[in-house]
Amino acid sequence: MYKVGDIVRYQGVEFTIVEIDETDKTFPYRIEGGENYAGLWVGDKDVTRLTRPDTVGANLVHGERYESYGDPDVSFSRISKLWSAHLGVDISKRDVALMMILLKVSREKSAHKEDNLDDIEGYVHCARILKEENAVS
């Protein structure tokens, strides 16, 4: 999944993957860059790729979340149709992404979790890529 030189986030700190052990399926990546964790071996579930600050969301949406939830266009289309029917108003796929951002902001206000912020970045990415069309069109 990752390659040597990728910038990743672990425990809220940015690191660079400096070595990969292809034989270790649990902790194949050795990271460098932080004082407390330099040289630590980590696994896929421990790190989030950061090639640029604005790509965290893209990496989630097209990587881990894609494997779990599928294509965001299909998923958000289905959600927008369900919400539109339930509320009796047109909700676009982009509206769904924006409302999910608000949900995560509310959760973050209650208690900080790094996952909330990662998810917000993912929903921002979805808002950027989803077409501006109503669910019922």
**pLDDT, tens digit, for every residue of 40-64?**
887 777 776 554 444 567 767 767 7
Count up the domains in the chain and report the number: 2
Q: Which H or E element spans position 46?
A: none
Residues 59, 120, single domain; the answer is yes
**Do 136 and 84 form a contact (C-beta atoms < 8 A)?**
yes
Average pLDDT rounded to a whole number, residues 21-29: 86
The answer to whether position 134 is within a domain reads no
**Residue 29 counted as domain residue:** yes
58 and 101 share one domain = yes
Residues listed for the chain: 137
Tokens representing 62 are 């097209």
- Give the phi and the psi of residue 22 in degrees, each rounded to 5: -65, -20
For residue 128, pLDDT over 50 is answered with yes
Q: What pLDDT does residue 121 have?
A: 87
Average pLDDT taken over every residue of the chain = 81
Residue 113 in domain: yes
CB 81 within 8 Å of CB 136:
yes
Asked if the model's pLDDT at residue 136 lies above 70, the reply is no
